[in-house]
């Protein structure tokens, strides 16, 4: 084993983070193996989301659906409802597709190789490498944002991201050991998350400090370099919130593909899909003074909120009424919950 890998694993044995989805190094040495289902679920949840935010979602999911077979048989709406707040709702759709593919094509057992894992829906190169390494101890190189930062500093790579990604992957592969690959993958991620942090890294506590080129050259704070970000455009849309006199809410399910695909939401919202905004039902619409603001990966969204009370049996042009007893704001994606909060607070003032 490379000396650097050994140094890092020794550090990890003493300092590994206690995470709900992780098997501690001491337990692994006693023969306890990570559950591939829990590894996969955590990796999907952690994409673009912090560890602190994922913890309660992970615990809730695994309490509701302890195995991949349980998840595969779950109702789509229930899973998407529990996912609300994690963002990137295509991941929730792919989560179900992948679980069902594992059950249908692999008898509920995740394949062990990176190549086979990549054949499953929603699993890309990073996630496949992470599952293969962490769950099956395959010597795969796992590179997330934390690992990129560690490698950029350790090897003093000054090529800006994202152009530096192939080089950082190549360098990370040089250090990946053949043994304890799963612990090593988690060790590098922990090193980046707790020691080699974006600001004010604790170099004095780092097991790799003696060989770190960035520290030697005094450029740690400058790495990794990043290409300037393009400013995000702002889109404007409208959300129509209608409530019938019996308490039912007018909602529509968005198309399966695209932003917030398959999720419940308020009609309108043209800023999400560049569609024209038209009232979904004949009513006396009232525009609220407050607007909803939300930021997606590639754009900012500003939504005007219009509310209306609908009487009788009026038929909507878009969407359908959902009985009050079946409506849970928590089932809505975050931006739609923001709309509900604004509409509820304004209506309560009346």
Identify the bridge partners of residue 307 per DSSP, sorted by sequence position. 241, 286
Query: Any catalytic annotation for residue 43?
Result: yes
Burial 194-213 (b: 16+ CB within 10 A, else e): bbbeeeebeeeebbbbeebe
Q: Which of 6, 43, 75, 140 is catalytic?
A: 43
Nearest residue to 93 via CA among 44, 131, 58: 44
Strands 300-310 and 264-265: what pairing? Answer: unpaired
C-alpha 212/C-alpha 206 separation (Å) is 9
Q: Which two tokens stand for residue 202?
A: 């604790």
Place of tokens 């809730």: 60
Nearest residue to 45 via CA among 8, 82, 5, 4: 82
Place of tokens 């709406």: 77
67: which residues sit within 8 A by CB, 6+ positions away? 37, 108
C-alpha 200/C-alpha 303 separation (Å) is 38
Q: Kindly state the helix (H) or strand (E) to which residue 243 belongs, with its residue range.
A: strand 234-244
Residues classed as catalytic: 43
């Amino acid at each position: 084993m490379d000396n650097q890998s050994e140094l890092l694993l020794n550090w990890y044995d003493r300092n590994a983070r206690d995470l709900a989805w992780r098997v501690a190094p001491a337990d692994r040495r006693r023969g306890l193996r990570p559950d591939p289902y829990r590894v996969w679920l955590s990796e999907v949840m952690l994409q673009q989301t912090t560890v602190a935010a994922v913890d309660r979602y992970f615990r809730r999911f695994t309490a509701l659906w302890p195995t991949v077979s349980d998840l595969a048989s779950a109702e789509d709406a229930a899973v998407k409802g529990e996912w609300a707040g994690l963002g990137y709702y295509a991941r929730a759709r792919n989560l179900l597709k992948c679980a069902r593919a594992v059950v249908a094509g692999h008898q509920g057992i995740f394949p062990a190789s990176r190549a086979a894992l990549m054949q499953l829906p929603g699993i890309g190169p990073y996630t496949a490498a992470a599952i293969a390494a962490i769950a099956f101890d395959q010597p795969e190189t796992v590179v997330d944002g934390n690992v990129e930062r560690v490698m950029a500093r350790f090897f003093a790579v000054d090529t800006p991201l994202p152009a530096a990604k192939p080089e950082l992957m190549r360098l990370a592969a040089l250090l990946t050991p053949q043994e304890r690959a799963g612990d090593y993958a988690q060790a590098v991620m922990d090193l980046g998350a707790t020691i080699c942090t974006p600001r004010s890294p604790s170099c004095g506590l780092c097991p790799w400090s003696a060989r770190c080129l960035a520290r030697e050259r005094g450029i740690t704070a400058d790495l990794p370099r990043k290409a300037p970000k393009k400013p995000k455009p702002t889109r404007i849309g409208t959300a129509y919130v209608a409530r019938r006199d019996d308490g039912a809410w007018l909602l529509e399910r968005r198309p399966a593909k695209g932003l917030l695909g398959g999720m419940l939401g308020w009609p309108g919202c043209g800023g999400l899909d560049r569609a024209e905004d038209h009232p979904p039902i004949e009513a006396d619409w009232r525009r609220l003074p407050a607007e909803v603001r939300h930021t997606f990966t590639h754009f900012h969204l500003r939504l005007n909120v219009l509310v209306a009370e609908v009487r009788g049996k009026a038929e909507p042009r878009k969407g359908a009424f959902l009985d009050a007893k079946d409506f849970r704001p928590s089932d809505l994606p975050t931006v739609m919950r923001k709309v509900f909060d604004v509409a509820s607070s304004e209506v309560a003032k009346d």
